[in-house]
Structure 1
Amino acid sequence: MELKVKQPQQLLFPLALIAPFFLWGTAMVAMKGVIPNTTPLFLGGMRILPAGILVLIFGIILKRPQPKGWLAWGWLSLFALVDGALFQGFLAEGLVRTGAGIGSVMIDTQPLTVALLSSILFSDRVRKIGWLGLGFGVLGVSLIGLPEQWILQGLQGNFTGLEFEISRLFDSGEWLMLLASLSMATGTILIRYVCRHVDSVMATGWHLILGGIPLFFLSGSLETQQWQNISFDGWLAISYATIFGSAIAYGIFFYLASTRNLTSFSSLTFLTPVFALLFGNLLLAETLSPLQWVGVSLTLVSIYLINQREKLSHVLQNLQTQKKLNFEQLKGEKTRKSEG
């Protein structure tokens, strides 16, 4: 009996699929210690502009074509504004003004927006199982990031004071996280249009550079003491977030997003807070509550349902067809017996 050995590509591809979300999650952990020692707009610029330069150098080494024509640069500029400047700006400002937990909940609900837009624009079939999976994902991320007191009060039907707490969300910066989520979702949709005119690698590099320029400009105009208080460990954290959390993660993400089903691929975003929590537990001794572990489990179930929705839908359809045939066969047998 011959053993079938998987090709290296078959083994590496699943790793490539989850790599951006692993890198984004661990980059969030790396950035936690440096946030109090710098300013948000400067931090946002440092995360993407140097990363864009690295991606461009990589693209030039690979001899990837540069953008040509006003249409290519027009799409690229829009992409840079939305997914570069707006997303990183809202994210950095939001991290300063709110907790990472509730912020990650709002950011990582963006697959719902992607699913809705891609079903309209690209005719991606979400199916009932896919929507069920997206619902599980939002529920799982909510259990991971929302305050446990809110969840327990809601389950007990006690909503006293919750209205006040929820209203405070928009006074403490969570609305910025929501805007970051919408920017990321729109950027994921835009990459399809951008890559019709620009090479995916060069588009990634240029959009990070063009998106970082206004962040540095605003930082220079509105902020002070951007880097004076950053320690050596802080610069290492920024370097990790720039190289791994931006250059490599964005390069892989937008290359795959330009070629794969957007609903399935963007659903993997639900993994980001899972990785952030797990590595926060390992490296920063942050513990997970039982509710958060339930949230992690629901998140994994969500990703399975969304990515296997076509296969599961066919299985359910076949079961329903078989059930209908069995019913008709049983009905026919009863009819024949009654006639006999």
Structure 2
Amino acid sequence: MESNQNKNASTAMVVLAFATVYIVWGSTYFFIQKALTGFPPFLIGVLRFIAAGLLMMAWCAIKGEKIFDFPSIKTAAVTGLLLLFVGNGVVIWVEQTLPSAMVAIMISSSPIWFILLDKPKWKENLNNRSTIIGLLIGFVGVILLLSEHLIAAFSSIQNGSELIGLSMLVIGTISWAGGSLYSKYNTTGGSSMVNTSWQMLIAGVAFIPGSLIQGEFSIIQWNNIPTATWLSVIYLIFFGSIAAYSAYVWLLKVQPSTKVSTYAYVNPVIAVLLGIFFAKETISSIQIIGLIVILGSVVLINLDKYRKEAKALRTAGV
């Protein structure tokens, strides 16, 4: 199944999907923090994922796709809860107390979890030296890129709640990697867009009990929410969820999980570059080194693919 999907996926579509995941998710750290200035955390999950799920589901219905396929819904439920409710929900929650740089560092460990949890690919991945070295170097590159923010963040930790937040991030990254692999190896016959819609809808509904327990619906003052906060939520719905998450789920079907997981290294790079170009932030020499190291790690992770393509071209006499 995976090999056929790989063949059917055009290079242009793969590049576009990777670009969407890299660039859009690299900007969502900023927009999540912006959304938290007006919305409580669980309510963000409710609004973001239910809205995105309903919009995608409506589009699927207009196209005449089959919506109610219960085996597919079951798979989508597990995937949505692991990825969006636990994985993304943890990120939303901890960004209330932890700096985004520290969150990005913790999330960048997810490619390691992809390798450890991907049992069917243990032999292939653990014997692929360029992939292993590339993943380790990429993690070091992220630390270098965000080292100045990281030192300041760790020096500011003064209470147990922040340490709990770090522990929650570990659980979140494991859940994200596990949910991604579950989605990859439990492909159903239904439409990919319909499955993604169900994932978001189910995750959005799962946020409701937490929001009710926290009393978020009663304390929020809808009329006082700034326009910029609403725009941040809208950005998360259309770009973070509908565009980037759909691209991510599709990439899991057509590309090796180790390559897809490189988003965790590239996202902080995009976040730093956006800060330079749009917030007029400066970049230090150690951050430049970090950028170079990360880009080199992505090349290493894909080195085996490049070698196979080159060998195929030589065999074909091109």
Counterpart residue number, 1:121:
120
1:233 paired residue among 228, 232, 240: 228
Measure, in 2, the Cα distance between the counterparts of 1:133 and 1:83.
24
Question: 1:74 is aligned with what amino acid?
Answer: K
Measure, in 2, the Cα distance between the counterparts of 1:170 and 1:231.
27
Question: 2:74 is aligned with what amino acid?
Answer: G
**Offset, 1:314:** 10
1:200/1:258 contact within 8 Å kept = no
Does residue 176 of the first structure (1) align with residue 168 of the second (2)?
A: yes
Q: Percent identity?
A: 21
Bigger Cα Rg: 1
1:27/1:241 contact within 8 Å kept = yes
Question: 1:251 is aligned with what amino acid?
Answer: S
2:111/2:264 contact within 8 Å kept = yes
2:145/2:287 contact within 8 Å kept = yes
Measure, in 1, the Cα distance between the counterparts of 2:272 and 2:242.
22
TM-score by length of 2: 0.82
Measure, in 2, the Cα distance between the counterparts of 1:149 and 1:91.
17
Q: Number of matched residues?
A: 295
1:55/1:251 contact within 8 Å kept = no
Measure, in 2, the Cα distance between the counterparts of 1:181 and 1:243.
23
Counterpart residue number, 2:187:
195
- Return closer, same or farther for 1:143/1:199 CA change in 2, 3 Å cut-off: same
CA deviations 1:149-180 (Å, max 9, x no partner) are 859xxxxxxxxx99x96996852612222222
Measure, in 1, the Cα distance between the counterparts of 2:150 and 2:167.
21
Question: 1:42 is aligned with what amino acid?
Answer: L
Three-state SS of the structure 1 residue aligned to 2:282 is coil
Does residue 264 of the first structure (1) align with residue 259 of the second (2)?
A: yes
**Offset, 1:250:** 0.9
The 5 Å alignment of 1:36-185 reads 36-69=37-70, 71-118=71-118, 120-122=119-121, 125-126=124-125, 127-147=128-148, 150=151, 171=163, 173-185=165-177
- Return closer, same or farther for 1:286/1:255 CA change in 2, 3 Å cut-off: same
- RMSD (Å), alpha carbons: 2.8
Measure, in 2, the Cα distance between the counterparts of 1:179 and 1:60.
35
- Return closer, same or farther for 1:223/1:197 CA change in 2, 3 Å cut-off: farther
Counterpart residue number, 1:337:
none
2:75/2:186 contact within 8 Å kept = yes
TM-score by length of 1: 0.77
The 5 Å alignment of 1:299-338 reads 299-312=294-307
Gaps of 5+ in 1: 1-8, 152-160, 316-340
**Offset, 1:51:** 1.1
Worse-superposed segment, 278-287 or 201-210: 278-287
CA deviations 1:278-321 (Å, max 9, x no partner) are 11222233333322222121111111110123445999xxxxxx
Question: 2:115 is aligned with what amino acid?
Answer: A
Question: 2:251 is aligned with what amino acid?
Answer: L
